[in-house]
Amino acid sequence: MNLHDDPAEAAFRAELRDWLRSRLPDDDPSRTWSTAELRDWSRDLSAAGYAGITWPKEYGGRGLSAAYQAIFVEETARAGAPDHINIIGMNMVGPTLIAHGTDEQKARYLPGILSGRTLFCQGFSEPDAGSDLAAVRTSARRAEPDGYLLDGEKVWSSYAHLADYCLLLARTGPAEPKHQGLTCFLLDMRAPGVKVSPLRQLNGDTDFNQIILTDARVDDGDVVGEVGRGWSVALSTLAHERGTFGITLTARLVAQFDRLLRLVHEVGAEDDPAVRRELAMLHARLQGLRYTGYRSLAALRRSGEPGAESSILKLEWSLLHQRVCALALRLQGPAALLDGGDAAWHGYWQRQRLRSRANTIEGGTSEILRGIVAERVLGLPRSRQ
């Protein structure tokens, strides 16, 4: 595991820093980006070659190693840059289609994913099938003369209100064991029978959504992978989510910790022994998270697939982010209740703290991730409870 840039990586980092400085103002955590601004930003990323960095060149990417993607997320986090508007398409759907999609699906969707023209969401979680994804109840029954009709409900679908398409898991074999009889589909979010409703979070955001499906039609050409083999496709999608997202989230948490240190100085708490002790603990855990991410990168470079170790990244990141945000509010004291105007930093930390409450639930609950780490990383036997 090499922790230093080689000459080519150093050149890429320097080029990226120059590009970011030319397009972004100083780091402003209180800034909000409109959908139109995010689309423009994503189009600029694609035009400059910073979208699909690790995708094969034949699909519009640069064919670079995961180390370059790590450099990208580190530098964009440091610069306060927003994510690509199509982050689910870029990091989850695109790699899934490259691995399991047909040539027609790749040609139809991959260029739009990179440019941000074709936005994707994910339809995996359900009211009774979040932590236990294999318990999916959304049904897909054969239609005449071909295709399927989908009925069911999906929840916690990020950006479904903006998405053009959804990578969705449904049950095509109701009589088969729950890990079998599942199939992945590409669903047109504007098709008849698809209804999207926002789910408001504690901080007021509505990025999560509920999707209701009533006889929503998909064609045979919309099946990803083989019929009845959707479980393996879904695992591939989730591995990419936890692998690449884990690295991204860690880089953004490093930038978040730097903002916390600035806050400590602003409120004059740098000599408080209790604050110093907690900062030291957070810093140590953050460094452990960073190096775990580097190990995950090394494994990704060897095998081409994120390993089960990536679950550690998401698990530890979610707990650390909550601790960082909670400490920020404690440091502000009564001022943490202020919002807007000259108190933009106060409003920022308030929103971050409220948003962080979902971190240990979304993307796999902490309980599920601990089970994955226990069984697939530590080799412990499966619990009989």
* Residues that are catalytic: 241
Phi, psi of 74 (to 5 degrees): -65, -45
| CA 36 – CA 50 distance, rounded (Å) | 19
Report the largest interatomic distance among the alpha carbons of the chain, rounded to a whole angstrom: 73
- On whether the CB atoms of residues 215 and 149 are closer than 8 A, the answer is yes
Compute the Cα dihedral for 277, 280, 281, 282 and give only its sign. Answer: positive
CA angle 256, 257, 262 (to 5 degrees): 95
| CA 345 – CA 51 distance, rounded (Å) | 30
Compute the Cα dihedral for 372, 378, 382, 383 and give only its sign. Answer: negative
Between helix 7-23 and helix 66-79 the angle, nearest 10°, is 30
The token pair that represents 324 in the structure block:
């960082």
H/E run at residue 78: helix 66-79
CB-side neighbour CA atoms (13 Å) of 295: 13
Please report, to the nearest 10 degrees, the dihedral formed by the alpha carbons of residues 146, 117, 46, 65 taken in order: -30
Compute the Cα dihedral for 131, 289, 78, 248 and give only its sign. Answer: negative
Phi, psi of 141 (to 5 degrees): -110, 150
Say if strands 120-123 and 165-171 run parallel, antiparallel, or are unpaired. Answer: parallel
| CA 58 – CA 46 distance, rounded (Å) | 15
Query: Which amino acid appears at position 297 of this protein?
Result: L
| CA 376 – CA 90 distance, rounded (Å) | 26
